[in-house]
């Protein structure tokens, strides 16, 4: 790899990041005078749709605002009874013994790994098609991420490729239920049990999702959730760790409050018992979470229903492969609705133009994640003082790492085929789903004409 000017690199990535966000929210050009429904909107025709999509997040101005104002007026804003109430409700909802809220999903994963005694020199086998937070959480513990390729039909980590990645240093598997579609937990738990590995589930997109009627996040030794603004259970920022292991959860609690003994959040005249940090959720965040929780079941059911309907509508379109769920999946949470786009069936129209054309029809969409297994943030970790002390030089050879962590299926999903629709769109009507299907069909029928557009 060529040495890259660091400041230039940071700047380039910042610009790309902004573009990716804009892509997801763009609604295309909506002002057309003549009604020409046959011509692609991108070429000046009338868009399939000009109506807005359901907004996110949403709240009930009367009931929700009252609850949040009550917290404000109480003057108790730091962790107390409301946070406890949310933790109790979330654990009950999932059917798990314990829940501890923390500041965000990223730190939920870090805390769960650290309190599973994972650190420098350990290897953590992880999904390669995921959000960056999953991988940076591993790096924060000092452990080495080991990327597993994806199953392109399901967008999840390919469980049949896990065992080949196990070495004498493997300590944990970190499966991600990416997009809210559960990973193949039956196979994953079997492998973990055979090889005596810890399983920490990244359920940061999988609220209420289920595998064999067991909630995502409660199947492994620990599960981690995110309540960030865009998530299906939003608080602005927030996260949680869940587990049935009391001793582990006591340690997580202690870790999240300066390392003070379990249960202590106020007193300062006590001795800390472990090397902790500060990750506590505040009362008004928990209040927002409680209000959102009252709608989560109904919204999850609506997303599932609309996803299944939309899936059935787009599956017959040549070149479109909607997500597949594993046979064990009894519920998905659909943080995103994914499908694969095969340009061969669209006269070779590049995905970038397809997305542009879909946006012009009034259907917001995006190309999703970028590959994570070869990026400079890894090199930055490898160059750090701690990594240089904890690993042999050959383990930190960036080129060798990239060669060992190739994930061709993930590369295809990221660079060529993956398309996402965001969860708020699934809160619409059947007619809204028809709009999406009709827009995709329209682009398919006009692929030839769209070839003149450059991405
Ligand atoms: C959102 C997310 C996280 C991180 O959660 P934050 O609350 O944003 O820190 C981790 N993993 C996945 C898959 C996520 O989508």
What pLDDT, on the 0 to 100 scale, is given for residue 453? 87
Could you tell me the distance, in angstroms and rounded to a whole number, from the CA of residue 236 to the centre of ligand 1?
12
Ligand 1 pocket by C-beta < 6 Å: which residues?
104-106, 130-131, 133-134, 176, 178, 202, 204-205, 226, 228, 239
> How far apart are the CA of 86 and the centre of ligand 1, in A?
19
pLDDT tens profile 63-119 = 899 999 999 999 999 999 999 999 999 999 999 999 999 999 999 999 999 999 999
**Between residues 34 and 362, the one the model is more confident about:** 362
Pocket of ligand 1, candidates 57, 101, 102, 106: which has the most ligand atoms within 8 Å of its Cβ, to mutate? Answer: 106
Predicted local confidence at residue 316, as pLDDT: 98
Range of lowest pLDDT (13-17, 177-181, 215-219, 444-448)? 13-17
- The confidence score (pLDDT) of residue 364 equals 97
Residue 59 confidence class, pLDDT cut points 50, 70, 90: very high
Give the distance, in angstroms, between the CA of residue 109 and the centroid of all CA atoms in the same chain.
Answer: 13
Q: Looking at 62-129, which runs of residues are DSSP E strands?
A: 98-102, 123-127
Beta bridge partners of 329: 211
Nearest CA to ligand 1 atom 5: 105
Cβ contact 285:310 at 8 Å = no
What ligand 1 atom has the least distance to the C-alpha of 205?
15
Atom of ligand 1 nearest to the CA of 228: 7
Q: Model-level pTM? A: 0.93
Ligand 1 mean position, distance from CA 137 (Å): 10
| Coil, strand or helix at 42 | helix
Alpha carbon distance 339, 327 (integer Å) = 18
Q: For residue 259, how far is the Cα from the chain centroid?
A: 29
Query: What pLDDT shows up at residue 14?
Result: 40
CB atoms within 10 A of CB 62: 7
Share of the chain above pLDDT 70, in %: 92
> Partners of 115 in the beta sheet?
none
Grade residue 34 by pLDDT with cuts at 50, 70 and 90: low
133 Cα: distance to centroid of ligand 1 (angstroms)? 6
pLDDT tens readout for residues 395-437: 999 999 999 999 999 999 999 999 999 999 999 999 999 999 9
pLDDT of residue 122: 98
Helix H or strand E encompassing 370: none
> Which residues, other chains included, contact 37 with Cβ-Cβ below 8 Å and sequence gap of 6+?
45, 46, 48
Architecture of domain 61-291: 3-Layer(aba) Sandwich (3.40)
Ligand 1: distance of its center to the CA of 104 in Å?
8
More confident residue, 351 or 38: 351
Domain limits of the chain? 61-291
């Amino acid at each position: 790899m060529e040495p890259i000017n660091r400041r230039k690199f940071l700047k380039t990535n910042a610009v790309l990041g902004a573009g990716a966000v804009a892509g997801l929210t763009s609604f295309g050009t909506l002002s057309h005078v003549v009604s020409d429904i046959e011509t692609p909107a991108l070429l000046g025709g009338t868009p399939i749709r000009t109506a807005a999509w359901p907004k996110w997040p949403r709240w009930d101005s009367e009931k929700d605002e009252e609850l949040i104002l009550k917290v404000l007026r109480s003057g108790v804003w730091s962790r107390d009874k409301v946070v406890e109430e949310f933790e109790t409700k979330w654990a009950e909802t999932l059917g798990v013994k314990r829940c501890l809220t923390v500041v965000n999903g990223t730190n939920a994963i870090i805390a769960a790994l650290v309190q599973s005694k994972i650190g420098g020199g350990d290897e953590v086998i992880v999904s390669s098609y995921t959000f960056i937070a999953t991988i940076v959480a591993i790096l924060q513990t000092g452990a080495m991420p080991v990327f597993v390729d994806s199953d392109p039909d399901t967008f999840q980590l390919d469980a049949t490729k896990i065992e080949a990645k196990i070495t004498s240093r493997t300590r944990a598997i970190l499966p991600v239920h990416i997009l809210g579609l559960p990973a193949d937990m039956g196979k994953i738990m079997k492998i973990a049990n055979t090889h005596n590995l810890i399983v920490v589930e990244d359920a940061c997109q999988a609220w209420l999702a289920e595998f064999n009627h067991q909630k995502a996040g409660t199947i492994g030794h620990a599960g981690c959730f995110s309540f960030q603004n865009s998530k299906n259970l939003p608080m602005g920022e927030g996260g949680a760790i869940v587990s049935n292991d009391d001793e582990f959860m006591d340690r997580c609690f202690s870790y999240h409050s300066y390392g003070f003994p379990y249960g202590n959040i106020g007193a300062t005249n006590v001795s800390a018992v472990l090397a902790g940090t500060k990750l506590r959720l505040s009362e008004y965040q928990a209040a927002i979470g409680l209000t959102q929780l009252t709608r989560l079941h109904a919204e999850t059911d609506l997303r599932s229903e609309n996803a299944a309907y939309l899936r059935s509508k787009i599956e017959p379109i040549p070149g479109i492969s909607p997500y597949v769920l594993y046979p064990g999946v009894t519920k998905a949470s659909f943080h995103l609705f994914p499908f694969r786009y095969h340009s061969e069936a669209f006269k070779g129209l590049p995905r970038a133009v397809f997305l542009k054309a879909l946006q012009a029809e009034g259907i917001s969409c995006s190309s999703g994640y970028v590959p994570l297994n070869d990026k400079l943030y890894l090199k930055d970790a490898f160059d750090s003082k701690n990594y240089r002390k904890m690993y042999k030089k050959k383990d930190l050879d960036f080129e060798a790492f990239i060669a060992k962590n190739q994930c061709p299926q993930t590369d295809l999903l990221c660079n060529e085929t993956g398309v996402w629709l965001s969860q708020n769109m699934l809160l619409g009507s059947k007619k809204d789903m028809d709009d999406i299907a009709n827009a995709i069909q329209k682009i398919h029928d006009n692929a030839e004409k769209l070839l003149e557009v450059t991405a």
